[in-house]
Structure 1
Amino acid sequence: MGLLDLLGFGKKSKEVMVEALKDGAVIVDVRSPAEFQGGHVAGAHNYPLDRIGSQLEGLKAAGKPVVFCCASGMRSGRATSQAKSAGITAYNGGGWMSLNGIVQELKESH
């Protein structure tokens, strides 16, 4: 396992995340509302990182995996750790623009 795998950015992690997206995972953008308004993945929910703790029970109750994103992958990595600690199947989707590209590719392939 390489460093990228440990950080949630490895090839295997990406493949698993893509499968989760195909299966209807919830996308959560943990940037500020102003950042989110400047652009985001279509259909993403905006739960800023400083308030993510109060959203975890609702995310868990939804019963779906969660893919977190932000600007670079750092904040989404922290949110992913918090969600996993709460028993949620969670993935670090990294930067929202990269994740948006993956989501678009999935839409085009269907």
Structure 2
Amino acid sequence: MFSLFQKIPTISTQELAEKLPDNIELIDVRTPQEYRSGHIAKAKNVPLNKIGGYTAKADQVYVICQSGMRSKQAAKVLSKKGYNVVNVRGGMNLWTGKTVGGK
């Protein structure tokens, strides 16, 4: 049964760092400006306001934003579309790994 209070699984930025070598789908739902200021190399920018039209290429999708709030909203939208979504707790605020700037 579908629940409004569906629990979206979360992982820490540390756990995400360990998964990056695998072929994972990582979506950064921050604004294009925030994304350009520094993002995880593997992350694809899909701003939160466009997430409803996003089609993931994998069953498992990891979602990140600045603090974890927008990614949680995005995760709910993607989850309703049938994807297995994992929210990255704390977002880029807690990310200590390498980032790249630009597109």
Aligned equivalents of 2:20, 2:83: Cα separation in 1: 15
Show the counterpart of 1:96: 92
Contact 1:29 1:96 in 2 (8 A): no
Aligned equivalents of 2:41, 2:71: Cα separation in 1: 17
Normalised to the residue count of structure 2, the TM-score between the two structures is 0.70
Contact 1:8 1:77 in 2 (8 A): no
Point out which structure has higher relative CO (alpha carbons under 8 A, 6+ apart): 2
**CA gap 1:79/1:50 in 2 versus in 1, 3 angstroms:** same
Question: Where in structure 2 are the equivalents of 1:22-101 lying within 5 Å?
Answer: 23-55=22-54, 58-59=55-56, 62-94=57-89, 95-98=91-94, 100-101=95-96
- Equivalent pairs counted in the alignment come to 88
Give, in angstroms, the shift of residue 76 of structure 1.
Answer: 0.3
Show the counterpart of 1:108: none
Percent of residue pairs bearing the same amino acid type: 32
**CA gap 1:7/1:43 in 2 versus in 1, 3 angstroms:** closer
Give, in angstroms, the shift of residue 22 of structure 1.
Answer: 5.6
Normalised to the residue count of structure 1, the TM-score between the two structures is 0.66
Aligned equivalents of 2:43, 2:8: Cα separation in 1: 22
Show the counterpart of 1:107: none
Give, in angstroms, the shift of residue 96 of structure 1.
Answer: 2.3
**CA gap 1:85/1:51 in 2 versus in 1, 3 angstroms:** same
Give, in angstroms, the shift of residue 78 of structure 1.
Answer: 0.5
Q: Give the helix-richer structure, 1 or 2.
A: 1
Q: What is the RMSD computed on CA atoms of the aligned residues?
A: 2.4
